[in-house]
Amino acid sequence: MKKNLLKKIAKISFPLVLFIALASFNYGKFETKTVTGEILDMKCYMTSGAHGPEHKECAAMCVKGGSPMGILADDGKVYLLIEGKEGAAAFEEAKKYAGETVTVTGTLSEKNGVQALIVTEVKAKK
């Protein structure tokens, strides 16, 4: 009787322990990153390279209309900006700065060569 009970417990606990181990390994892949740069509307940037002060008004309209946002970092890298489950307010705040330079903090995520920041905080450049 005890052997059967131990076998049942082992059958249940092994997959659970394996799941927890894999989940914690995956969770560790994400890191917090802070980037300073210009908030882009990705549509105009990717189709024509448009950005900078002369594109600010268009960027604001495009982002307001639903165009994906990104940030052109000071080092020239572009990160897609993503709304997180808990960061909706920060993501909405980023929209207000389309075409402007800000500092964005978020969780870095990379999939198949695309780098994204899941936005958690936005600060206007002073």
User: Model pTM?
Assistant: 0.74
Residue among 118, 29, 125, 123 nearest 79 (CA): 118
Q: By percentage, how much of the chain surpasses pLDDT 70?
A: 75
Between 72 and 28, residue with greater pLDDT: 72
CA 120 – CA 84 distance, rounded (Å): 7
What rounded mean pLDDT belongs to the chain? 84
- The structural domains of the chain, ordered by start, are 31-124 (2.40.50.500)
Question: Greater confidence, 126 or 22?
Answer: 126
